[in-house]
Amino acid sequence: DSGVTQTPKHLITATGQRVTLRCSPRSGDLSVYWYQQSLDQGLQFLIQYYNGEERAKGNILERFSAQQFPDLHSELNLSSLELGDSALYFCASRPQDTGELFFGEGSRLTVL
Amino acid sequence: ELKVEQNPLFLSMQEGKNYTIYCNYSTTSDRLYWYRQDPGKSLESLFVLLSNGAVKQEGRLMASLDTKARLSTLHITAAVHDLSATYFCAVTGANSKLTFGKGITLSVRP
């Protein structure tokens, strides 16, 4: 158990819908990262937050947004969902800007 | 833009034999990580390599880092079935962003 909690574990929804994925980092970790893993694209970095502020952006679509709240949990919002958004979404945390990432179990999103 | 390449992408290993897999990266970095992922599961941290020449060993796995060559190797000694998984390397780039390779899927056969 990495200490990073993600909910929901599985989510099935329809095209055009909107979903929110939630992540609670390890106790004391200030940085939260979101990654998307699909079969054809591998592990893609989406966005990073550090202590409530956006720190880095990767290949995140405009239909996707995220935030980190004062209690350090983070949410990833995916809207106008398309079939191609079906993937495993991982959240990871680390204490500061260095050190290894600790990954949650992931949220598997299926868009039908 | 930092690129991380792993090869081969798939490796079928025979039980009991030794193998080496590679991770190359394109820009200077002194921090490299190896992760393991079982199918449908999360990523588990294996090694953190923090400096040139760093070598870490855990069980049948040994990882090393050559920052001058921008290369890390993961050596597998006497492969066993339990080592079957996908192994990712990741490198820290700008803004502390961790960039992952595509992963190498190892399959150990009897």
List, for residues A12-38, the tens digit of each pLDDT value. Answer: 999 999 999 999 999 989 999 999 999
In tens, the pLDDT along B63-99 reads 999 999 999 999 999 999 999 999 999 998 777 778 8
What is the percent of chain B where pLDDT is above 70? 99
The pLDDT of residue B51 is 82
Please report which confidence band the pLDDT of residue A1 belongs to, taking 50, 70 and 90 as the band edges.
confident
Which pair of tokens denotes residue A63?
Answer: 């239909």
Cα distance between residue B5 and residue A65, in whole Å: 28
Determine the average pLDDT of the residues in B2-22.
93
Residue B16 predicted with pLDDT over 90: yes
**CA distances for B74 relative to A44, A77, B19, B47, angstroms:** 22, 37, 8, 10
Dist. CA A35–CA A101, nearest whole Å: 11
At residue B82, φ and ψ (nearest 5 deg) are -60, -15
Chain A residues within 8 A of B42 when measuring between CB atoms:
2, 90, 103-106
Is residue B103 predicted with pLDDT exceeding 90?
yes
Residue A75, min C-alpha distance to chain B (Å):
18
Q: Which residues of B touch A104 (CB under 8 A)?
A: 42
Mean pLDDT of B41-64: 93
How far is the C-alpha of A22 from the C-alpha of A91, rounded, in Å?
9
- pLDDT mean over A68-83: 97
C-alpha distances (whole Å) from B54 to each of A30, B33, B45, B71 are: 27, 12, 16, 12
Per-residue pLDDT at B2: 87
Query: Using an 8 Å Cβ cutoff, are A74 and A91 in contact?
Result: yes
Q: How far is A39 from chain B (nearest CA, A)?
A: 10
Cis peptide leading into residue B8 (ω within 30°): yes
Tell me, what's the pLDDT at B7? 85
* Confidence label for A97 from pLDDT (cuts 50, 70 and 90): low
Q: Which of B101, B95, B32 is closest to A33 using CA atoms?
A: B95
Q: Closest to A100 (Cβ–Cβ): which among B48, B95, B102? A: B48
pLDDT on residue A98: 66
| A62-84: average pLDDT | 97
Kindly report the nearest CA distance between residue B12 and chain A, in angstroms: 19
pLDDT of the residue at B83: 96
**pLDDT score of B17:** 96
Mean pLDDT of chain B: 92
Q: Which of A56, A103, A108 sits opposite B43 (nearest CB)?
A: A103
The pLDDT of residue A41 is above 80: no
